[in-house]
Structure 1
Amino acid sequence: MLVLLDQPSQKKQLAPFISGTNGHVVMGGVLVGLQRGRVYADQLFAPKSALIWAKNEMFYLIGRSDNAHFNGLVRELLVQELLPEALDAGEDMLNLEVYPEPGSDWSPVLHHMFNGRLQEGLRVPFQFNLAKYEQWLQRSSSSLFVPPGYVVQVIDRAVMLEDKSRIIEQEILKFWHSVEDFFQYGAGTCTVYEGQVVGTCISVFLRGIHHETGINTYDPIHRGKGLATAMASAYVQSVLERNCVPHWTTEDFRHDSIAIAGKLGFDQGRAYPVYYMPIQEFLDC
């Protein structure tokens, strides 16, 4: 069976695998134990291959791809434990990224592991550019507003207490082990309309000073009004006030998200593959 790495010293062994990767903030948050997820490896010491599950976000296969015993156990673990748990938690799509050791190729492994049913998409990473953000802020300071009736707020304990629907708490606990951890290390903003939280923008994963952004306007009726841009701008400011760095990653078909990142001074990087399929389809095959 695969080895569950649940101690910081054990998970630290995987740090060299993720250095410089597109998903390092997400994986890093799981490895240091701030965000919810699990880490499995082929062996306890000096692992050569590993599976990282960042809950409500992504699965990652890292390291050597020619580890046949490990590969077979990954499929078994996904089918018997992890994907049913993900379904119960409200996830319906398996999303997967791979980071091979140099000279390895996960493509044939994935084809076999998922019976050739994985679809391939593209993820778009962004790198924050402070100078561009400050220029945008100067240009938009007089025009950045939200429609009447909407209020953008920084998430603090008082704002959370006012959220009777507990949307903010639910969003935080999708990713963080506790609300206390979020208030100590994370940052976030929300939009309120007639006393109801209709959108959030929070740190969903965190590694060191690096914050991965998660943004959501929950009901389509509130979209297209500039709320996401206003929330994201306030969120970026909050992250910067902590002397930290915001990160932004999205899918290539999320044109609104790409546009917002561009407005806020993020430089778009090269898109890279992400693999996906409905969880239930995989469990049924």
Structure 2
Amino acid sequence: MIYKLDKKDYPKIRTLLRTPEQKNDLTLNAIINRTNRGTIYVDNLEQPRTALIDATGTISIFIGDAENEEFIKHLREFIDNQLKIDTYLSCGGTYFLAVVPDETWEMVVKNVISHREYETDYEYYYQFNPELFNTRKSSYRPLPQGYTIKKINAEVIHNDPNELLSDVLGEFWYSIDDFLRQGVGYCVLKGERIISACLSCCVNEKNHEISVETYDEEEMNKGLATLVCTAYLEHCIKNGITPYWSTLETNVESNRLGKKLGFEFESKCKTLEFEF
């Protein structure tokens, strides 16, 4: 069987983090520490050997023994039924997107989802180079007239007429208060309307994963995402925060923006994706 682990027991899977990459993984630690939203599924509630960590609304990560039949033999039915339901109920999600950390897990997951039409991609991971960022930011386009950049606080969230920030933060954080206490965010406003935002979507101590989005298609290609990220990154530099950037290889715009902001490619992992 595959069981949903109680949040208070999330630290039980730390023994399954065996490689330096896993032990230092921002997403895994943020979920295990219960800083950010996520669900952990295991083969055994007391002494897990294998686990699927589902970061709400984004990715699923496999760790532990990839040859554990007590987990693997139930995985297809679990993904097609329980995970599908949980994904939709937690965030309205309709996709399964798994990061496979090595060739063994890749073979296992491909076999489990072989009855599906799935797509392969790569998750790209970037490290921030503040010197490169400081060199490049002078070339960014200025903020257009009529727009302002503000730090996201309780007042900005409360005054958001379309509740965009509340919805976005709800995908990553257990509460708005949790974000305000542990995360960082900046947004571009046109009047009272929020156009674009850059915020911490995943936090482990002083390490912050970035989420950035422009919400109005008519406002794209004006350099707003670059400028709101600039405000965020300047805050990180001043406060000793290390920002991280990750995106799919096929997300050309996100890769381009990350490089423009001084992020440098570090590594990649294969992903497998299908719609439930």
TM-score for both structures, normalised by structure 2: 0.90
CA distance in 2, matches of 1:5, 1:167: 31
| Cα deviation, residue 28, structure 1 | 1.6
1:35 and 1:176 in contact (8 A); partners too: yes
Letter of the structure 2 residue corresponding to residue 184 of structure 1: R
Q: How does 1:133-212 map to 2 (within 5 A)?
A: 133-137=133-137, 139-140=138-139, 144-212=141-209
CA distance in 2, matches of 1:19, 1:40: 22
Work out whether 1:122 is the aligned partner of 2:119: no
| Cα deviation, residue 98, structure 1 | 2.1
The DSSP-based 3-state class of the residue aligned with 2:101 is strand
Letter of the structure 1 residue corresponding to residue 211 of structure 2: G
| Cα deviation, residue 43, structure 1 | 2.1
Runs of 4+ in structure 1 over 6 Å off: none
| Cα deviation, residue 9, structure 1 | 5.3
CA distance in 2, matches of 1:18, 1:172: 30
1:59 and 1:95 in contact (8 A); partners too: yes
Query: RMSD of the alignment, in Å?
Result: 2.2
1:8 and 1:31 in contact (8 A); partners too: no
CA distance in 2, matches of 1:40, 1:86: 13
CA distance in 1, matches of 2:28, 2:45: 18
CA distance in 2, matches of 1:136, 1:8: 44
CA distance in 1, matches of 2:18, 2:178: 26
Letter of the structure 2 residue corresponding to residue 132 of structure 1: L
Q: Which runs of 5+ in 1 are unaligned?
A: 280-285
CA distance in 2, matches of 1:254, 1:118: 17
Number of the residue aligned with 1:65: 66
User: Bigger CA drift: 194-203 or 50-59?
Assistant: 194-203
Letter of the structure 2 residue corresponding to residue 125 of structure 1: Y
Q: Which runs of 5+ in 2 are unaligned?
A: none
The DSSP-based 3-state class of the residue aligned with 2:51 is strand
Percent identity of paired positions between Structure 1 and Structure 2? 24
Number of the residue aligned with 2:81: 80
CA distance in 1, matches of 2:176, 2:193: 20
Letter of the structure 1 residue corresponding to residue 122 of structure 2: L
1:176 and 1:204 in contact (8 A); partners too: yes
| Cα deviation, residue 174, structure 1 | 0.8
Number of the residue aligned with 1:11: 11
Q: How does 1:189-268 map to 2 (within 5 A)?
A: 189-268=186-265
CA distance in 1, matches of 2:251, 2:109: 25
The DSSP-based 3-state class of the residue aligned with 1:174 is helix
Q: 1:96 aligns with which of 91, 95, 98?
A: 98
Letter of the structure 2 residue corresponding to residue 268 of structure 1: F
Q: Output one character per residue of 1:226-277: Cα deviation in whole Å (capped at 9) or x when no partner.
A: 0010011111122333321100001112222112211221111233211101
